Amino acid sequence: DQQVKQNSPSLSVQEGRISILNCDYTNSMFDYFLWYKKYPAEGPTFLISISSIKDKNEDGRFTVFLNKSAKHLSLHIVPSQPGDSAVYFCAASGNTDKLIFGTGTRLQVFP
Amino acid sequence: DTGVSQDPRHKITKRGQNVTFRCDPISEHNRLYWYRQTLGQGPEFLTYFQNEAQLEKSRLLSDRFSAERPKGSFSTLEIQRTEQGDSAMYLCASSFGRTGQGGEKLFFGSGTQLSVL
């Protein structure tokens, strides 16, 4: 049972444009959501997070939006840069400390 | 501080052999996590420790898997009688305190890539 879903395995965006990565979840008990970025041969690194009491969190070029009624969150990157090319994982947690990850979306930003 | 360190980076073994991986967390972090990632999937939770106490284990973790954190510092993950399905990237992560609503970030190591032939 995949509780966190990223239905787009890949996304290609031109440099300077907006990248929108989507994530859906099924477990109503999730109350904290995170995005991690992963480069090849490295572990995932934390990017941005959002609590369920908020619907938006912004950090520089990165904004995460949460729609609890739709059980959907999205990560917006604007403007996109070639260095943003990586695999992005959505993750969620509830009343335990373990994170449940999605399958990832590979973002490629081309010049 | 060099972050979370994992050793070895790569391990190739034959089916049926035992393997052990080591993780050194960030020094002041009291929580340590093990995750497994297979191709095309996200990291999958295996187990975690607070100091030396193992607080949760995934039901996916078969009896062939055992993890320890004897002094609340480094941790080892042992897989006995390896099977080809154990081939994966094994990721270790640590945090200063509670993640999720606790607000602490999870820091990952670069992982150990296991190949079982």
- CA pair distance B95, B107, nearest whole angstrom: 6
Give B13-43 pLDDT, tens digit per residue: 999 999 999 999 999 899 999 999 998 899 9
Q: What residue has token string 């975690």?
A: B48
Average pLDDT score over residue span A46-66: 96
Average pLDDT score over residue span A53-74: 97
- CA pair distance B18, B45, nearest whole angstrom: 21
Residues of A numbered 76-95 whose beta carbons fall under 8 angstroms of chain B's beta carbons: which are they? 89, 91, 93-94
Q: Specify whether the CB–CB gap between A38 and A18 falls below 8 A.
A: no
> Which of B84, B81, B86, B91 shows the shortest CA–CA distance to B45?
B91
pLDDT at B1 (0 to 100): 53
> Which of B14, B54, B62 shows the shortest CA–CA distance to B36?
B62
Tell me if chain B has a CB within 8 Å of the CB of A102: yes
Prior bond of B8 cis (ω within 30°) = yes
Q: What share of chain B is helix, strand, coil (3-state, %, to 5)?
A: 5, 50, 45
Average pLDDT score over residue span B84-108: 87
The model's confidence at residue B62, banded by pLDDT at 50, 70 and 90, is confident
Average pLDDT score over residue span A11-39: 96
Question: Cα-flanking dihedrals φ and ψ of residue B84, to 5°?
Answer: -60, -30
Please name the residues in contact with B117: beta carbons below 8 A apart, sequence gap of 6 or more. Answer: B12, B13, B14, B15, B84
Chain A residues touching B93 at Cβ < 8 A: 43
pLDDT at B61 (0 to 100): 82
pLDDT at A41 (0 to 100): 85
Bridge partner residues of A10 (DSSP): A106
pLDDT at A98 (0 to 100): 86
The minimal CB distance from B56 to the residues A41, A98, A103 is found for A98
The model's confidence at residue A43, banded by pLDDT at 50, 70 and 90, is very high
The minimal CB distance from B48 to the residues A41, A42, A98 is found for A98
* Residues above pLDDT 90, as percent of chain B: 78
pLDDT at A79 (0 to 100): 98
Question: Cα-flanking dihedrals φ and ψ of residue B9, to 5°?
Answer: -80, -35
Tell me if chain B has a CB within 8 Å of the CB of A7: no
Q: CA of B105: which chain A residue's CA is closest?
A: A46
- CA pair distance B69, B63, nearest whole angstrom: 17
Q: Specify whether the CB–CB gap between B33 and B43 falls below 8 A.
A: no
Q: What's chain A's average pLDDT?
A: 95
Average pLDDT score over residue span B44-70: 92
Do A41 and B110 count as a contact with CB atoms less than 8 A apart?
yes
- CA pair distance B22, A11, nearest whole angstrom: 35
Give A94-106 pLDDT, tens digit per residue: 888 889 999 999 9
pLDDT at B94 (0 to 100): 94
The model's confidence at residue B98, banded by pLDDT at 50, 70 and 90, is confident
The model's confidence at residue B59, banded by pLDDT at 50, 70 and 90, is confident
Q: What's chain B's average pLDDT?
A: 92
- DSSP letter (8 states) at residue A15: T
Chain B residues touching A36 at Cβ < 8 A: 108
